[in-house]
Amino acid sequence: MVFRLRKSRLQILQLMRITAIALVSILLWNLSGFSFCRQESRLCACLKCLTDSDPWFNYIISEAPKPFMSRKHKTSEEDFNWWKVLQGKKENFTFYNKTLQSVFETITLIADIEEPRPDRCRSCAVVGNSGNLRGSHYGPLIDAHDIVIRINRGRTKGYETDAGTKTTHHVMYPESATRLDNTTNLLFFPFKTPDFLWLLKALNPRENGAPKSNKIANKDLVRILHPAFMKYVHEVWLRRKGAYPSTGFLTVVLSLLMCDEVNVFGFGADSEGNWSHYFEILRNKKLKTGGHPGEEEYKMIDKLHKRKKIFFFKGW
């Protein structure tokens, strides 16, 4: 019994030590790019705001369209024609617009992005699903953020030490769907027109004879990523490499608009070079990143880290 108590205490101390080291690292990293000269105006209350003194970053962010869909921010036919290629089949622009009309009539979408304020620092953790989270002990550090964004089938139960427990926003599309609690914001990434029809059914299960408990998310906390934003990420950030951006990389770029301070966890290959998930046993070591350019995305995330725009926790 005494041995177990000592072991438990040692584990808690180890977690506290890792979290403290990580927090100090972020502080020193932020200070290394912070000017102590008098600053006439600050966009946010962080030690270093994302748009501080970096022409390259400011330009690439200024090119971004509004990220979320709304009645006012409609899809152009040019953006639709780029987006429909992702589906691998012909899609009709008229049918797409009719489907969207049904969405707008049924769901009150959240479309606005909160602007930075000089009295606030919104810290965000973007948590990917890489196997490099295993053994990282990043859990308490992830939970310390104001906003925690998880992606696809990312989970916390049984992985609290490495992945944390907190989720404020969850990214998904139909094939990667997981049921959310009533307080978690759904960030829905559609890749084909039927995805919108799936969303309507998933948010209104009673209309299909299913019990209310089968609802996928709170329909008052839904944002839908705009096809124009996907196109922007593919063309501007990835320079058209790969067939399309991954949900993970789309989320990283999106977080740069949603947050004042961004820290990224669980991206890239594990320590053995395998592209795996922390919650799965890897059986196929030849598994790659599919149609999206994983290596290019990783390089861009690393570039953002080196330019002190984000802090990239690599796990190993």
CB 278 within 8 A of CB 131: yes
Alpha-carbon distance of 266 to 278, in angstroms, equals 8
Average pLDDT over residues 289-302: 84
Of the listed ranges 44-48, 192-196, 223-227, 270-274, the least confidently predicted one is 270-274
210 pLDDT more than 60: no
Unique residue bearing structure tokens 């005494």: 2
State phi, psi for 281 to the nearest 5 degrees. Answer: -85, 125
Lowest model confidence (mean pLDDT) among 8-22, 89-103, 235-249: 8-22
- 120 touches 45 (CB < 8 A): yes
Per this entry, what is the length of the chain? 316
Please confirm, yes or no, whether 244 is among the known catalytic residues: yes
Higher pLDDT, 85 or 17: 85
For residue 35, the model assigns a pLDDT of 41
pLDDT at 135: 92
Residue 295: the pLDDT is: 87
Assign 159 a pLDDT band (cuts: 50, 70, 90). very high
- Mean of all residue pLDDT scores within the chain: 85
Does pLDDT of 104 surpass 60?
Answer: yes
Q: How far apart are CA 138 and CA 208, in angstroms?
A: 41
User: What is residue 87's predicted lDDT score, i.e. its pLDDT?
Assistant: 78
**Least trusted range by pLDDT, from 43-52, 68-77, 150-159, 271-280:** 271-280
Which of 137, 277, 292, 305 is the catalytic position?
Answer: 292
Q: Is 266:246 a contact under the CB 8 Å cutoff?
A: no
**Which residue has 């080291």 as its token pair?**
21
Pairing between β-strand 222-224 and β-strand 261-265 as defined by DSSP bridges:
unpaired
Single-letter code of the amino acid located at 10: L
pLDDT of residue 8: 53
More confident residue, 69 or 1: 69
At residue 143, the pLDDT reads 98
- Quote the pLDDT of residue 41: 59
Q: In the annotation, is 277 catalytic?
A: no
Q: Which pLDDT band holds residue 33 (cuts at 50, 70, 90)?
A: very low
- Is 30's pLDDT higher than 90? no
Predicted confidence at residue 43, as pLDDT, reads: 84
CB crowding 273-301: b at 16 or more within 10 Å, else e: ebbbbbbeeeeeeeeebeebbbebbbebb
pLDDT in tens, 37-76: 334 457 899 988 887 778 999 999 999 999 999 999 999 9
Between residues 187 and 11, which one has the greater pLDDT?
Answer: 187
In the chain, what are the domains? 42-313 (3.90.1480.20)
* Active-site residue identified among 96, 173, 244, 278: 244
Nearest 5 degrees, angle CA 265-CA 268-CA 273?
135
Q: Can you spell out the DSSP letters for the chain?
A: -HHHHHHHHHHHHHHHHHHHHHHHHHHHHHHHT---S--S--SSSSSS-TTTT-HHHHHHHHTPPP-B--SSSPPPHHHHHHHHGGGTS---HHHHHHHHHHHHHH-------PPP-TT---EEEEE--BGGGTT---HHHHHTSSEEEEETT---TT-HHHH-S--SEEEE-GGG-----TTSEEEE---STHHHHHHHHHH-GGGGT--GGG--S-TTSEEEB-HHHHHHIIIIISTT-SSS--HHHHHHHHHHHH-SEEEEES-S--TTS---BTTS----TT---TTS-HHHHHHHHHHHHHTTSEEEE---
**C-beta atoms surrounding 109 within 10 Å:** 18
pLDDT for res 290: 59
* Predicted pLDDT of residue 67: 97
The reported pLDDT for the residue numbered 42 is 74
